[in-house]
Each structure stands twice: as structure tokens, then as C-alpha cells.
Amino acid sequence: MHVNNGRTTNRRLLVIAAIAVAALATACTSGNGSGSGSQAANTSAAAPGKGGAPSASPTPAGAIVKVSPGNGTKDADPSAGVTVTATRGTLTSVTVTPEAAAVGTLAADSGNPSGPLPGAFSAGSTQWHSTWTLGVAQRYTVTTTATYHGITKTTTSVFSTLTPHSTFTTEIFEGEGQTYGVAMPILLTFSQPIKDEAAVERSLQVKTSYAKPIVGAWYWDTDESLAFRPRSYWPAHTRVTLTAHLDGVEGAPGVYGYHTLTQSFAIGQSVIAVASTTSHHTKVYVGGKLAYTWPISSGRPGDDTPNGTYLTIEKENPVLMKGPGYALEVPWSVRFTWSGDYYHDAYWSVGEQGFENVSHGCVNLPPAAAETYYKLAVPGDPITITSSPKAGTWDNGWTYWFLTWSQLVRGSATHEAVLTNSSGSTFVDPSTLSPVHLTTPLESAASGIWGNGAAS
């Protein structure tokens, strides 16, 4: 009896132990009772699937980020910029930094800022692209941070841009801190012909101090000459800053810019002259109001002063003027064409001024009037000649105001307008701009005065 009772007790203990082990195993599995203990620990935290049961999800492996140019690249094309793409996850930060000591003489002389490159994220922050081109012969470090399923990952890569065999430089006419008239265009000259004109245009940033946006457009006179002209005259006393991000721009196949050009200048007071060859008078508006009406004598028949809205180019007191049968030191002379037309003192023709055209093409003024205008004038003040039988000649002076607004836009490689303010400039479709009704001569050049109706 005692032995049999012992065996029964042992069996009961074994059964109880087996039940306890089974209960423990059941407690460590998912709701369906299957899987090992480690799998159960992962899947028990998953979101419930159909019927309320948790569904399995893959273990997060971190974001996947691609940088172009890739890590270790030695001769990257600077015109392509930098692109960072999160093929899995979301970008949270991108920093592209050039080395303080650039590679080679070109980059050392480029004048580019040494700080991180500006750029922008796409919608959803899955891609980032640099705003401007990269500098030539320059080494960059790209640091990216991205997240995926709560996991943050930071990566770093390094690459270098190519050293071009051929380069171009750019010069701006306007001097730093100098003052110009309300009709003055920004004038750029390139050392080599530009073939990718749109790429050059898009590298150019114009800022102004004026409170409201100013509309303008770029215009290619030749493949080595580019100008920015506002749609209407600049507001008086506006400060204009050009930043040309040309380092790394491929202006022609294999020909790259290698410098960033920055220049600021001021627009002075509004000084606008309008001369009629038939009324024999000129009117001069200062600060938006008629300030002077002076008698003149313009070009005699055969030497007619040509129609058009020109700009004052330079002034000198006196200027030696030579022609058939004369050589004179002419006081108070303000030039407006390359061929030699001036507003100037003509003390010898005072009797004809106001009545008859007797000059060799210039606009003759009384001595006191010529001195007054000379002291007012700065490069870029508009001078409009009207009523002449002779049409003006394109490029005989700064003739950008011969063009209507639509003609100006068509001269841009992008065929877009430029909207500029204190934050910079953007390209816009001209058809989206509100129409304006400009008054002449105070806001814009008169149309239809430049031969054959070309400016109508």
C-alpha cells in the first residue's frame, strides 16, 4: 500500500509539472499559440491584423540614402550640382560643405563663399538638390541625416569636381557703389561666346531694395553680351545687387565659369530728357516733375539726330569734337551715342536754338542749360529724341529701350520674365503678370519712335 501510494503521488506531480510547463510555453507565444519564444516577443508588439490578431511586420533596417556625385568621385561635373535622394525613409538634414582650401588655382581664385551650399528639399523631403552649380576644382563633404521607422541614420561622403581645360570670365559695367540713372540696364560681358545661354541666365540673382517687386528680363545682344532691363524705369534711389553664381556653369561645351561675381550699385534721382526735333525744344523732368524747358538746335537735314530712347553714356568738360571744317573744345558735353551725339553747350548757335536745326547731329543747348544738365546727368539717364525723319540704329549707344516689353522677353534664352525684390529673383511666365499701363516719359520709353515700327 505504501509503495503504491508513492507511485500515484509521483505520477500526479509529473502531470502537474507538465501542465505548468505547457502553460508557461503558451504564455510566451502569440495569440495563435505558435512560434518560438523570441519570435513571439517581436510579433506580440505588432499592430493587430484582421480579426484583432497582431500582424507580422519586417524589422526596420534604417534609411537608404543615395548621394550624387558618389563618394570618392574625383572629376564630378560641377554643372550638375548635388542631389541627395532617400530611396527609403525621409531626409531630415543635408549639409554640403566645400573644403576651406580648394583644389588648384582656379578654385582658390573663384571668390565663392566657404560656407555650406544652399539647397532645397522636395515635397515629402525624399530629395534635396543644391540651388546653384558647384565650384570647379573643389572638394566637398556631404553629410546627410535620414529617418526610417524611428531609426535615425547619418552618413558622410566626399567627392571632388573636375578642373576644366577651358574657362570663361564675366565682367559687369556697373562699378561697386556707383550711382546710375533710372533707365540703366545691368550690363555683362563674357570672355568667350556663351552657347548654353539659359544656364547662364539661371545662375544670375538680382536683388533690389525697393519695397515692391520689380519686373524685368534678360536680353542677349550677342553671345558675349547680356543685359538685364526692367520693364519700366527703375524706381529712384533703389539699390541693386547682382550675384552671378557662375562658378561651375558650363557656358559652352567644356567651357566653365570659375568665379562668383557680386556687385552692388545705386539708382539715383530720376532725370529724364525728351527732345523734339520739330518743336526745337527739350524738356527735362527731375524727380518726376517737369523742371526745365530749353530751346535746342538738333541735326540739320542730312545730319538729322536719330529717333529713339538712348541713355547717357559718359560726360566730359570739354570734349574735343572734330568734323568737316571744324575742331572745337566743346564745354558741358554729355554723350548718348557711340557715333558721337551729345547734349552739349553750343554758344555759337544760340541764335538758331528754338527755331532751326543746324548741328551735325548733336543737341545744341544754351550754355547755362548745358551746364545744368551736365551736373545732373549720370550714366543711364534716358534721353528720347522724337519727330526726326531719321531712325535710330540698334547698338549705337545703349539702345535697350528701343525694345518693347515683348521684344525684350523674346531676347531671353528662357523667354521668361524676372521678378526681383529684396529676397532675390525668380523666373516667371510673362503671361501670368498683370498688365501695366506705363506713362511716358516718366515710367518708360515711348513706343513707335525707333524706325519701321519695330518698337510699337
Contact assessment for residue 214 and residue 230, using Cβ atoms and an 8 Å cutoff: yes
Closest CA to 240 of 217, 219, 268, 218: 268
- C-alpha of 328 from chain center: 46
**Where does CATH 2.40.440.10 sit in the chain?**
271-401
Is residue 27 over pLDDT 70? no
Name the one residue in this structure whose C-alpha cell is 520693364.
231
Sheet holding 363-365, edge to edge: 314-316, 333-335, 342-345, 363-365
Residue tagged active-site, from 245, 259, 280, 344: 344
Residues 205-236 have pLDDT tens digits of 999 999 899 999 999 999 999 999 999 999 99
Q: Which residues contact 164 (CB under 8 A, 6 or more apart)?
A: 106, 136, 137, 254, 255, 256, 258
58 — phi, psi (to 5°)?
A: -70, 150
CA trace torsion 379, 383, 388, 393 (10° rounding):
40
pTM greater than 0.75: yes
Q: How confident is the model at residue 261 (pLDDT cuts 50, 70, 90)?
A: very high
CATH code of the domain occupying 64-160 = 2.60.40.3780
Q: How confident is the model at residue 21 (pLDDT cuts 50, 70, 90)?
A: very low
Q: Within a 13 Å sphere around the CA of 417, how many CA atoms are in the beta-carbon half?
A: 19
**Where does CATH 2.60.40.3780 sit in the chain?**
64-160
Residues 351-407 have pLDDT tens digits of 999 999 999 999 999 999 999 999 999 999 999 999 999 999 999 999 999 999 999
| 166-269+406-432 has CATH 2.60.40.3710 classification | yes
**Where does CATH 2.60.40.3710 sit in the chain?**
166-269+406-432
What pLDDT does residue 325 have? 84
Which residue blocks in 103-180 are alpha helix, DSSP H? 104-108
CATH code of the domain occupying 271-401 = 2.40.440.10
Name the one residue in this structure whose C-alpha cell is 552657347.
195
- Please confirm, yes or no, whether 344 is among the known catalytic residues: yes
What pLDDT does residue 449 have? 85
DSSP-derived letter for residue 118 is P
Residue tagged active-site, from 28, 362, 415, 437: 362
Q: How is residue 128 written as a grid cell? A: 534635396
- Please confirm, yes or no, whether 360 is among the known catalytic residues: no
